[in-house]
Homo-oligomer: A and B are copies of this chain.
Amino acid sequence: MDVLLKIEPEITIQEALDFIHSPACGGEVVFTGKVRNDTKGRAVTKLFYESYREMAISEMQKIADDVAMQWDIKKIAMLHAIGDKYPGDIAVVVAVSSIHRGIAFDACEYAIDTLKARVPIWKKEFFADGTII
């Protein structure tokens, strides 16, 4: 399985799509997490993401290893943005390709769920009313 991991100020869906493309693979599933303009009814002006970079990459690699062990996935890309991000901006992209589609959904959902639970990345939310969480 080929793996692309990235934690950078700018990430794009296209680079994930380019990486997972393969004429041997019929199914591609891509999850994109974007900054919402609203959290529980409160207007959001921006998010700030920081990471413990070396450990975050290492945890992302473990997720990729778990995926490779559980499913016949050919390629996976996991990208996370850091720094200031505004509503509509991309925060995270997880993309997988496989020969058949069912496992591509399972693997992609597992990867984003596990990323959100374990990978040391933190966000601070800035609300329109001036509060910060």
Interface residues of A (CB under 8 A from B): 13, 17, 21-38, 87-88, 99, 101-102, 104-105, 108-109, 112
Are B27 and A29 in contact (CB-based, < 8 A)? no
Are A37 and B24 in contact (CB-based, < 8 A)? yes
Q: Is the interface of A mostly helix, strand, loop or mixed?
A: mixed
CB contact under 8 A between A25 and B36, given known A105-B108, A108-B105, A112-B101: yes
Inter-chain contacts of A108 with B (CB < 8 A): 29, 105
Chain B residue with Cβ nearest A104: B31
Inter-chain contacts of A104 with B (CB < 8 A): 31
Closest chain-B Cβ to A8's Cβ sits at a distance in Å of 20
Inter-chain contacts of A13 with B (CB < 8 A): 17
